[in-house]
């Protein structure tokens, strides 16, 4: 493992803003070595469109890691585009290329070639239109992180913004399907992955987690729903008896007030739109999607492909910059045990 973090960077959908963001990131200094895993012609062409200086250097794993100079970027040409790219115009011919870059990035992290994977936004629709099975980065990477006869990891989605970390008990489920998914085995797995990850990947010895209830007022003693009484309260009591620092179930409308968050290291929300609107209001454009429970470190931007902005020079690179910085910090925390602090709250 290198002292300077070596990060694989996949630009995602070639017609979207991912290449723009990678090129913009290359204009700035970083505490890590960035290696774009993609077709170098894509970056060269987009840099010319944007009018930004960019020198591409072939990645050499035998060379010691060192931060790239501004205006330069290392490239691992692990995949080749099948068709020319027009910014903003999707082409299903390049769908396989997108997944090939992800496979290469994941495999390289598993082998130690890179210390972490930072992913740009993909377009699920064009991947599915091309006949490929793809429901999201998280599920795809979990499948490719399975080793031999070991079961596929069940990852946990965490989003981090300045002042707040939110993990999700359920992700992209219809709201009507959420109550059935709130089971003791599922929640116990998620809580244990969250605690372990905060200890090992974030360097927090005894993480304190606020657990939201599912129903309004956390069920109001069973009068507004039974999931808290039947599942959450007994599970939290059992895990607290083991020494885990859990608080809850808390009404979601008061779990995010400053007094509650002051000493918390993360909040566990029961469903997507319970926790993420708060986080994105606090830090949209600076938030990072982190996949927990995998044998690799993976961070990602918190936005989509923004096809209408591709090649325009108007894409906001704040989330990618934050994803790169957090990946670097997670590598260093894993290697040294240094805690990653939640930055100042506004």
Q: Which residues are annotated as a binding site for a divalent metal cation?
A: 172, 217, 272
Burial pattern 85-117, b for ≥16 Cβ within 10 A else e, equals bebbebbbebbebbbbbbbbbbbbbbeebbbbb
Handedness of CA 107, 112, 114, 118 (dihedral sign): positive
In order of 4, 5, 224, 227, the CA distances from 338 in angstroms are 15, 15, 43, 37
Give the distance between the most distant pair of CA atoms in the chain. 64
User: What angle in degrees, to the nearest 10, is found between the helix axes of 233-241 and 184-200?
Assistant: 40
In order of 37, 78, 157, 246, 337, the CA distances from 106 in angstroms are 10, 12, 17, 32, 24
**Which segments are annotated as binding site?**
137-138, 172, 217, 272, 280, 289, 298
Neighbour count for residue 265 (Cβ, 10 Å) = 22
CA distance 74 to 181: 43
CA distance 146 to 11: 23
**Which segments are annotated as binding site for substrate?**
137-138, 280, 289, 298
């Amino acid at each position: 493992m290198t002292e300077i973090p070596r990060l694989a960077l996949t630009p995602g959908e070639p017609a979207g803003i991912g290449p723009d963001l990678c090129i913009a990131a290359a204009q700035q200094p970083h505490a890590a070595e960035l290696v774009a895993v993609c077709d170098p012609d894509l970056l060269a062409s987009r840099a010319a469109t944007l009018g930004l200086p960019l020198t591409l250097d072939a990645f050499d794993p035998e060379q010691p890691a060192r931060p790239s100079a501004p205006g330069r970027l290392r490239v691992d040409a692990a995949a080749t585009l099948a068709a020319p790219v027009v910014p903003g115009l999707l082409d299903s011919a390049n769908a396989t290329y997108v997944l090939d870059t992800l496979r290469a990035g994941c495999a390289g992290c598993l082998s130690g070639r890179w210390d972490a994977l930072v992913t740009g936004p993909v377009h699920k629709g064009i991947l599915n239109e091309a006949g490929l099975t793809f429901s999201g980065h998280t599920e795809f990477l979990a499948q490719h992180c399975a080793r031999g006869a070991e079961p596929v990891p069940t990852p946990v989605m965490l989003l981090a913004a300045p002042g707040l970390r939110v993990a999700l008990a359920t992700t992209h489920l219809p709201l009507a399907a959420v109550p059935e998914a709130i089971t003791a085995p599922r929640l116990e797995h998620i809580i244990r992955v969250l605690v372990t990850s905060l200890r090992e990947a974030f360097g927090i010895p005894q993480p304190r987690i606020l657990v939201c209830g599912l129903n309004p007022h956390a069920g109001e003693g069973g009068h507004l729903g039974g999931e808290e009484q039947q599942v959450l309260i007994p599970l939290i009591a059992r895990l607290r008896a083991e020494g885990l620092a859990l608080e809850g179930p808390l009404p979601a409308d008061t779990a995010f007030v400053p007094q509650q968050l002051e000493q918390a290291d993360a909040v566990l929300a029961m469903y997507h739109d319970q926790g993420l609107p708060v986080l994105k209001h606090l830090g949209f454009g600076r938030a990072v999607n982190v996949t927990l429970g995998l044998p690799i470190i993976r961070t990602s931007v918190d936005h989509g492909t923004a096809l209408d902005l591709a090649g325009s020079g108007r894409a906001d690179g704040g989330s990618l910059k934050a994803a790169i910085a957090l990946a670097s910090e997670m590598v260093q925390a894993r290697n040294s045990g240094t805690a990653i602090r939640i930055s100042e709250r506004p």
